[in-house]
């Protein structure tokens, strides 16, 4: 057995951009034969303002044959040396289709997709190993261009080729994740370097109890440093979401176009794809859980999720990215084996690698906390505002307020409980589950605050209330009350606030 036996290109990865394509995505399909699609896509924001006319034009559009698109084999792996055209087709067909279904609002979705979109979209999806639904890769990996080719790969230096609304707020929502994916490039490259080293060290596969050499420990330490640095950069980027994406515009105008078929209340039975299936088909909407980069950290660091949702989301990744995550499993096991064996039996008691490993999990948990803060700002809080506007009576308002806390994402999960569980499972993967000394509970000057009615838990409740459940301020930084006792670490208050049970009011 060898680690990552195929070259990175076979996994749909590039040395330049990691999970991003090796070159900028195409702004338009090159063959004029596909102009009917591209003409609609170029004017989609304007066309969706007259949804009846748009739907009529789509219904009258011919069914175009997709075999002339270059690249892409059945299942998305074979013959995929040049699949830029196929990727662009998936993006444009997806956006035209989501516009057709959701352009009339969530109260008036289309129940069937015409053959002119359903048939080619399904054919293109099969070639990429994707379902015929808009996914994370469509919106965040295959729909961007640099504004200035000589400037860094940052959200402000990127733009989207195609839009639903045409606003910069919409672009920013997708360009921040795009920049996050790009930030993972050094780690992707470093992962192949680690695989090469381990293949040389263990030509017959890793032993059940590996004894790492000093050189292996050095390389592992460098790798964990790269993991840590990458997560720090990703967290800094996700906290930039508020700079350019307006919460109300996202919730009311952008988010509806990312909903699924069968996973949303508006289309509970799914969508009929005319010319493909006479029965409604069900697919989850776009979700951050479809990010191969984020799932890569779970594989490497041994995070096990009890909810099958994230495993299901792999089916919404390109086939070659799925293959990479599967091939990465043995490498993740070997990494954890090396870290666990480091220092054992040496008499030195040196567990530096284990500490670094756990620090990486702490940073992955911090990234998930930042994501949870965005979910609260962009979905939970917006849903509550909408509920408050629609309900005049106190009792109705209370029930709607509580229901907002149970809001589902476009991927179909019950957002806050699911994200909290993901964060808890991240922490559970740590090799050393003890609390760091500076935050440990048994210290005498802390014990007096830990009574059920003590000031520390009251303070934690106050922190939760003041931050409306997100535990983050407007910049995404943790909220800690100004009156926190100086003898109590702020991180301890913050942790207790997160651990408090859900209040009856429905606050998250």
| Mean pLDDT over the full length of the chain | 83
For residue range 489-498, what is the model confidence (pLDDT) as tens digits?
333 333 333 4
387-425 per-residue burial string, b: 16 or more CB within 10 A, e: under 16: beeeeeeeeebeebbbebbebbbbbbbebbebbbebbeb
196-255 pLDDT tens trace: 999 999 888 777 777 788 999 999 999 999 999 999 999 999 999 999 999 999 999 999
Q: Give the integer Cα–Cα distance in Å for 397 and 392.
A: 7
pLDDT tens for 369-426 read 999 999 999 999 999 998 887 765 555 555 555 555 556 656 556 788 999 999 999 9
Q: Which of 338-342, 469-473, 476-480, 498-502 has the highest mean pLDDT?
A: 338-342
Residue that wins the pLDDT comparison between 187 and 401: 187
More confident site: 357 or 342? 357
Structural contact between residues 496 and 480, judged by C-beta atoms closer than 8 angstroms: no
150 vs 12: CA distance, rounded Å: 25
The separation between CA 244 and the C-alpha centre of its own chain, rounded to angstroms, equals: 18
Q: How far apart are CA 430 and CA 102, in angstroms?
A: 43
* CA–CA distance, 71 with 83 (Å, rounded to integer): 4
Question: CA 140, CA 162: separation in Å to the nearest integer?
Answer: 11
Rounded CA gap, 182 and 154, in Å?
9
Taking residues 152-169, what's their average pLDDT? Answer: 98
Q: DSSP secondary structure string, 438-451?
A: GG-TTSHHHHTT-S
Annotated binding-site residue? 393: no
| Count of C-beta atoms within a 10 Å radius of residue 467 | 20
Concatenated DSSP letters of 322-344:
HHHHHHHHHHHHHHHHHHHHTTT
Residue with tokens 């220092």, as numbered in its chain: 343
| Residue found under tokens 């990429």 | 128
* Gap between the Cα atoms of 121 and 111, Å rounded: 17
- HSE (side-chain half, CA atoms, 13 Å) at 307: 18
pLDDT for 37-58, tens place per residue?
999 999 999 999 999 999 999 9
Tell me what pLDDT residue 272 has: 98
pLDDT of residue 75: 52
Supply 78's token pair: 């074979």
Distance separating alpha carbons of residues 342 and 327, to the nearest angstrom: 24
Give percent of the chain with pLDDT exceeding 90. Answer: 69
Look at residue 166 and tell me whether its pLDDT is greater than 50.
yes
Q: Is 68 within 8 Å of 31 (Cβ atoms)?
A: yes
């Amino acid at each position: 057995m060898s680690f990552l036996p195929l070259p990175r290109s076979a996994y749909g990865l590039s040395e330049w951009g990691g999970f991003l394509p090796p070159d900028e995505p195409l702004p338009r399909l090159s063959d004029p034969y596909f102009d009917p699609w591209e003409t609609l896509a170029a004017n989609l924001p304007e066309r969706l303002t007259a949804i009846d006319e748009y739907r009529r034009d789509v219904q009258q559009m011919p069914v175009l044959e997709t075999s002339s698109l270059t690249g892409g084999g059945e299942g998305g792996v074979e013959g995929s040396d040049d699949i830029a055209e196929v990727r662009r087709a998936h993006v444009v067909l997806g956006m035209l289709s989501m516009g057709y279904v959701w352009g009339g609002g969530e109260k008036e979705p289309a129940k069937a997709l015409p053959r002119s979109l359903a048939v080619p979209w399904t054919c293109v999806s099969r070639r990429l190993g994707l379902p015929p639904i808009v996914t994370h890769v469509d919106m965040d990996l295959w729909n961007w261009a640099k504004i200035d080719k000589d400037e860094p790969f940052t959200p402000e230096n990127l733009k989207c080729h195609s839009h639903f609304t045409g606003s910069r707020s919409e672009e920013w929502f997708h360009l921040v994740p795009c920049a996050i994916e790009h930030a993972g490039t050094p780690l992707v490259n470093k992962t192949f370097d680690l695989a090469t080293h381990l293949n040389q060290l263990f030509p017959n596969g890793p032993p059940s109890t590996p004894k790492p050499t000093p050189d292996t420990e050095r390389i592992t330490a460098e790798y964990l440093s790269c993991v840590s640095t990458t997560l720090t950069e990703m967290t800094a980027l996700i906290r930039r979401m508020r700079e350019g994406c307006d919460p109300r515009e996202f919730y009311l105008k952008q988010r509806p176009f990312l909903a699924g078929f069968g996973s949303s209340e508006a289309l509970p039975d799914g969508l009929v794809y005319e010319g493909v299936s006479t029965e409604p088909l069900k697919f989850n909407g776009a979700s951050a859980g479809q990010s191969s980069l984020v799932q890569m950290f779970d594989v490497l660091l041994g995070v096990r999720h009890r909810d099958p949702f994230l495993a299901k989301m792999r089916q919404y990744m390109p086939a070659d990215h799925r293959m990479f995550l599967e091939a990465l499993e043995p490498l993740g096991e070997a990494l954890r084996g090396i870290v666990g064996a480091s220092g054992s039996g040496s008499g030195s008691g040196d567990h530096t690698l284990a500490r670094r490993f756990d620090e990486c999990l702490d940073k992955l948990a911090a990234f998930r906390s930042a994501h949870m803060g965005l979910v609260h700002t962009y979905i939970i809080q917006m849903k509550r505002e909408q509920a408050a506007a629609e309900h005049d009576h106190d009792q109705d308002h209370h029930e709607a307020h509580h229901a907002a806390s149970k809001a589902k994402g476009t991927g179909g999960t019950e957002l806050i409980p699911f994200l909290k569980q993901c964060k808890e499972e991240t922490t559970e993967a740590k090799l050393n589950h003890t609390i760091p000394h500076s935050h440990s509970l048994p210290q005498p000057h802390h014990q007096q605050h830990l009574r059920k009615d003590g000031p520390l838990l009251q303070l934690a409740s106050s922190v939760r209330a003041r931050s409306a459940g997100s535990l983050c301020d407007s910049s995404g930084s943790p909220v800690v009350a100004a009156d926190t006792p100086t003898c109590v670490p702020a991180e301890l208050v913050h942790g207790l606030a997160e651990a408090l049970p859900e209040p009856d009011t429905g606050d998250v």
